[in-house]
Amino acid sequence: MQNKPLISVIVPTLNRSGMLGNAIKSVEEQSYSNVELIIVDDCSDSKVVVDKSEYSLPITLIHNSKRMGGGASRNIGVKASKGQFVCFLDDDDTYSKDKIKQLLCYFDKYPEMHAIFGKVLGSTERKSLQHEKKVTDFFSIGGLHTNGSLIRRSVFNTLEFYEKLPKFQDTQLHLELIKKFKVLFIDEQVAIWNKDHGQGQITDLKTAEQHLRAYKAFCLFNSYIKDKYTLTPKQSWYMLKNRISLYSKCRSIAPVDDLNTFELLLFKAVSSYVLKK
């Protein structure tokens, strides 16, 4: 971009001081230089300390007075930011060196876009995501990763993370981006998802409790989306399919009345048909 706009990178963090340094370093080492970093400590057990003199980029460190969750922490970071574009990075992950520069180049090429996503190493690939193609299908969401995004700041005038969600905040943001704005995907790696460090992640689904927590969170997410938007049949199918999938994994402990007989019959009746579309 000719005018080198300021880019705001938001990093929410919780009890991961040992890995946070790698995330910061990957932002500092970006080939694009006009970057500010905003770190939001979500009331870690040991208060996060960052020696700003060790880094060459401007850093704002915010401490939440109580634990508010990833969605609220990201919203706080966005409100404190000054950039024309906003992007996010989890505290245990890293950016590829040219991440910001790559995505900004595509904004030059496609100025009508509101958000652009690149590939994140370690995330799920989706055949529906095609290079330099607009993202319109909810079923593509599984291939999008918040670490891979660059988003116009103006988007956050009308969109934010839904703070009541303990899980699926990324899915919520991506779904609403697709529903309300123009989103582009590029088939180029821009970040690395470090999902095997052994310290646990909000995405983990290993125990019965984690499955139940995920199911309840998705039910809340489902209600939020259905109250806010009119969905197409295929979009409604996406929500129902995911809810039933989560339900089936924790049905021995989930409330039996969360899915009614009609929904279960609908799932069985149309699954083979819709998935071919």
> Residue 204's pLDDT band (boundaries 50, 70, 90)?
low
143 and 248 housed in the same domain: no
Is the pLDDT confidence value at 90 over 50? yes
144 and 67 housed in the same domain: yes
> Residue 265's pLDDT band (boundaries 50, 70, 90)?
low
Q: What pLDDT shows up at residue 272?
A: 45
Q: Can you spell out the DSSP letters for 244-262?
A: HHHHHHSTTTS-GGGS-HH
146 and 226 housed in the same domain: no
Is the pLDDT confidence value at 196 over 80? no
What burial letters (b/e) apply to 142-168, b meaning 16+ CB within 10 Å?
bbbbbbbbbbbbebbeebbbbbebebb
Helix (H) / strand (E) element for 119: namely strand 115-121
264 and 169 housed in the same domain: no
Is the pLDDT confidence value at 205 over 60? no
> Residue 268's pLDDT band (boundaries 50, 70, 90)?
low
Give how far the C-alpha of residue 170 lies from the chain's centroid of Cα atoms, to the nearest Å.
Answer: 3
Comparing 106-115, 126-135, 181-190, the range with the smallest average pLDDT is 126-135
Rounded mean pLDDT, 111-118: 98
Taking alpha carbons only, the member of 38, 45, 40 closest to residue 63 is: 40
- Domain stop point among 160, 192, 224: 192
Return the bridge partners of 37, or none.
Answer: 9, 59
Comparing 2-11, 24-33, 38-47, 157-166, the range with the smallest average pLDDT is 2-11
Instruction: Tell whether 255 is covered by a domain.
Output: yes
pLDDT in tens, 26-39: 999 999 999 999 99
Instruction: Tell whether 1 is covered by a domain.
Output: no
Torsion angles phi and psi, residue 190, rounded to 5: -130, -10
- Domain stop point among 163, 192, 221: 192
143 and 228 housed in the same domain: no
Return the bridge partners of 9, or none.
Answer: 37, 87
In this structure, what DSSP letter does residue 199 have?
A: S
> Residue 220's pLDDT band (boundaries 50, 70, 90)?
very high
Instruction: State how far the Cα of 238 lies from the Cα of 185, in Å rounded to an integer.
Output: 20
Instruction: Tell whether 244 is covered by a domain.
Output: yes
146 and 221 housed in the same domain: no
Torsion angles phi and psi, residue 8, rounded to 5: -100, 125
pTM over 0.75: yes
* Under 8 Å between Cβ of 158 and 78: no
107 and 212 housed in the same domain: no
Instruction: Tell whether 168 is covered by a domain.
Output: yes
pLDDT in tens, 45-79: 999 999 999 999 999 999 999 999 999 999 999 99
174 and 250 housed in the same domain: no
37 and 124 housed in the same domain: yes
Mean pLDDT of the chain: 88
Number of domains in the chain: 2
> Residue 276's pLDDT band (boundaries 50, 70, 90)?
very low
> Residue 256's pLDDT band (boundaries 50, 70, 90)?
very low
151 and 40 housed in the same domain: yes
Give the domain range for residue 226.
Answer: 208-272
CA distances from 157 to 26, 37, 151, 267 (A): 28, 20, 12, 37
Rounded mean pLDDT, 249-275: 53
